[in-house]
Amino acid sequence: MSKPGPISAKPLSILLSDVFKDAYAKQGFAARELVTRWTEIAGERIAAYCEPMKIQWPRPVEGQPQEPATLVLRVEGPMALEIQHSSDVILERVNRFFGWHAVGRLTIRQAPLSRRGRVARPRPPDAKTVAREAANLGAVEDDDLRAALARLGASIKRN
């Protein structure tokens, strides 16, 4: 009886690369790296509030040089103005990633992001610090207000 050959496991990303390639191509992405590495390309501060939706390539005109594409970003509503003001920085970083002047404009679509990282909630201040702050607030008569101010003061001093 012969022994079976070695089993070589392939990463899931390799097995599904053809499936995702078609989906990204329909959105104008030549490669999926702009989406999967967006945090590295745009920077953590910018990537926290926006993500690339698609790239719109203009139709080539015969005899004319190829015009740069338009990158469509999905941005959370209140941050759209900030992202618009950062558009030069974003364009520079995206074009540096591509290695050539591929993208010339940004278009912003205000919508919730499709992927949201979990926001870490700050832990509440410890009871000793809150009690120490509450002792300093003897002039406040309302108990609920005193407790809230003590928690606020302890949180501020912790940071």
Tens of pLDDT, residue by residue over 98-140, are: 888 989 999 999 998 886 555 566 788 888 989 988 888 888 8
Please provide the average confidence, as pLDDT, over all residues in the chain. Answer: 83
Alpha carbon 128 to its chain's center: 37
d(CA 24, CA 53): 10
Q: Which secondary-structure segment (H or E) carries 94?
A: helix 87-98
Averaged pLDDT for residues 141-147? 90
Q: Which residues of 104-118 are buried (b: 16+ CB within 10 A; e: fewer)?
A: eebebeeeeeeeeee
Q: Enumerate the β-bridge partners of residue 108.
A: 73
d(CA 68, CA 149): 55
**0.85 exceeded by pTM:** no
Tens of pLDDT, residue by residue over 17-46, are: 666 666 656 655 666 788 888 999 999 999
Phi, psi of 108 (to 5 degrees): -110, 130
